[in-house]
Amino acid sequence: MSEIPGGRMASRPLHFIWLLDCSGSMSVNGKISELNFAIREAIPEMQQAARDNPAASLVVRAVTFASGADWHIAEPTPVEQFTWDDVHTYGGTDMGAAFRLAAAELRTPPMPERALRPVLALVSDGQPTDDWRSGLREIDATPWGKRAVRVAIAIGDDADRGMLKEFLGNPELEPILAKNPKQLVAAIRWASTVAVKNASTPTVEGDKRFTAPLSQTVQDEDVW
């Protein structure tokens, strides 16, 4: 449907929310610097994915979690205007607090009744230090949280991949494992583009077609 005959096609909002681990362990071996670099590198491809999907009006924001959780980018920002300010490490791994912040935004309101499925992209290198399951239940209790396209990126072997798999909410899916900087960049780019395209695809309620790629083979000497 367009606004006027021959006019611009109407689009629905697609909310993309990064959930980023900024715990102290992310300062080891430059992980946090590589995460900042990877997100900045992915922005042009994210913008192109939005242009390729005119039915989606892509808006982006980000939550950081460590000792507590905060909105790093609180306002849903049109991807055409999206820029990245570096995040920094500051303590523990309060992932449940991040889930609760996201859950509050996945209710209706503030989410509109008509929108494309949101994307929740979780990136972590460790194990949660708070009650993450109660936070995840809050996400699952919201209509949009339940329908969201979910992506989980595990940085290094120490990440709790069992917990990340539980976040995905589908036993057929696995977290994406990034064992070195190149793999992290590839995983962030993948999450930024493929997940957006998948969320833009019409599906029936409960459709679980979204699948994550298998982890790449480690080839670099620089391994976390």
Residue 220 lies in a domain: no
Extract the tokens encoding 134: 């109660």
Overall number of domains in the chain: 1
- What are the tens digits of pLDDT across the range 189-202? 999 998 888 888 75
Residue 171 lies in a domain: yes
Q: Quick one: pLDDT at residue 186?
A: 96
Number of H helices, E strands in the chain: 6, 6
- Tell me the CATH number at 176: 3.40.50.410
Report pTM: 0.88
Q: Quick one: pLDDT at residue 212?
A: 45
- What are the tens digits of pLDDT across the range 48-95? 999 998 889 999 999 999 999 999 999 999 999 999 999 999 999 999
Please state at what angle helix 132-140 crosses helix 95-105, rounded to 10 degrees.
20
- What are the tens digits of pLDDT across the range 144-177? 999 999 999 999 999 999 999 999 999 999 999 9
Q: 169 in the Ramachandran plot: left (φ > 0), alpha (ψ -120 to 50) or beta?
A: left
For residue 35, the enclosing domain spans 12-199
pLDDT at 6 over 60: no
Q: Quick one: pLDDT at residue 224?
A: 78
Q: Quick one: pLDDT at residue 219?
A: 46
Alpha carbon of residue 78 to chain centroid? 16
